[in-house]
A and B are shown apart, each in its own frame.
Chain A
Amino acid sequence: AQSVAQPEDQVNVAEGNPLTVKCTYSVSGNPYLFWYVQYPNRGLQFLLKYITGDNLVKGSYGFEAEFNKSQTSFHLKKPSALVSDSALYFCAVRDSPRDDKIIFGKGTRLHILP
Chain B
Amino acid sequence: GAVVSQHPSWVICKSGTSVKIECRSLDFQATTMFWYRQFPKQSLMLMATSNEGSKATYEQGVEKDKFLINHASLTLSTLTVTSAHPEDSSFYICSARGDNNQPQHFGDGTRLSIL
Please choose the segment from A19-27, A38-46, A61-69, A79-87 that sits at the chain B interface, where 4 or more of its residues have CB less than 8 A away: A38-46
Q: How many residues of B contact A (CB 8 A)?
A: 24
Known contacts A44-B93, A100-B32; A106/B103 CB under 8 A: no
Please tell me if the beta carbons of B101 and A41 are within 8 angstroms of each other in the complex: no
Q: Does A7 contact B (CB under 8 A)?
A: no
Interface residues of A in 31-60 (CB under 8 A from B): 34, 36, 41-46, 49, 51
The interface residues of chain A lying within 8 Å CB-to-CB of B93 are: 43-44
Determine how close the nearest CB of chain A comes to the CB of B101; give it in whole angstroms.
Answer: 6
Cα(A101)–Cα(B94), bound, Å: 13
Q: How many residues of A contact B (CB 8 A)?
A: 20
Chain B facing A: main interface SS: strand
Of A90, A97, A104, which is in contact with the most chain B CB atoms at under 10 Å from its CB?
A104
Please tell me if the beta carbons of B46 and A101 are within 8 angstroms of each other in the complex: yes
Please tell me if the beta carbons of A36 and B101 are within 8 angstroms of each other in the complex: no
Q: Does A13 contact B (CB under 8 A)?
A: no
Please tell me if the beta carbons of A43 and B42 are within 8 angstroms of each other in the complex: no
User: Which chain B residues have a beta carbon within 8 Å of chain A's beta carbons?
Assistant: 2, 4, 6, 32, 34, 42-44, 46, 49, 91, 93-95, 100-101, 103-109, 111
